[in-house]
């Protein structure tokens, strides 16, 4: 199975700051990589699929990049409503679909 590793575990930044979350796969997942946002007490929500395509209704401040085994999610200007845990997930090689362990984003 493919292991997904996210870093950092927790990230604290000021409003308006640019933040970058990392996700690494133990082997290539091609472009079959998604990012999800989970706010406290809520279900996950799809942010990005295919490494860099924003899902419907997702603000342009969210962007994804990378290829093969190394990927990043960038929030260009952190807003208070972005406080959440962010998960990457590979859907290239299954079973199983694997998620990263998550990065918690906090506001300073």
Partner 1 sequence: QLQESGSQLVKPSQSLSLTCAVSGFSVTSGGYCWSWIRQAPGKGLEWIGYIYDSDSSYYNPSLMSRVTISVDRSKNQFSLKLSSVTAADTAVYYCARGVMGPTYYYYMDVWGKGTTVIVSS
Binding site for partner 1 (CB under 8 A): 1, 30-32, 34, 36, 42-46, 49-50, 55, 87, 89, 91-92, 94-102
Nearest to partner 1 of 17, 94 (CB atom): 94
What is the closest distance, in whole angstroms, from the C-beta atom of residue 88 to partner 1 in the complex? 10
Q: How far is CA 99 from CA 3, 57, 75, 79, in A?
A: 8, 23, 20, 25
Secondary structure class of 82 (helix, strand, coil): helix
What is the closest distance, in whole angstroms, from the C-beta atom of residue 80 to partner 1 in the complex? 23
Nearest to partner 1 of 76, 99 (CB atom): 99
Nearest to partner 1 of 48, 78 (CB atom): 48
Non-local (6+) Cβ contacts of 87 within 8 A are: 6, 35, 36, 38, 44, 99, 100, 102
What is the closest distance, in whole angstroms, from the C-beta atom of residue 35 to partner 1 in the complex? 10
Nearest to partner 1 of 16, 41 (CB atom): 41
What is the closest distance, in whole angstroms, from the C-beta atom of residue 9 to partner 1 in the complex? 11
């Amino acid at each position: 199975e493919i292991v997904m590793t996210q870093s950092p575990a927790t990230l604290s930044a000021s409003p308006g700051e640019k933040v970058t979350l990392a996700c690494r796969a133990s082997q290539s997942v091609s472009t079959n990589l998604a990012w999800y946002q989970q706010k406290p007490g809520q279900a996950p929500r799809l942010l990005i699929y295919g490494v860099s395509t924003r899902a419907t209704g997702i603000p342009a401040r969210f962007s994804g990049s990378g290829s093969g085994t190394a990927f990043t999610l960038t929030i260009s200007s952190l807003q208070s409503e972005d406080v959440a845990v962010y998960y990457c997930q590979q859907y290239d090689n299954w079973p199983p679909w694997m998620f990263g362990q998550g990065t918690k984003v906090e506001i300073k």
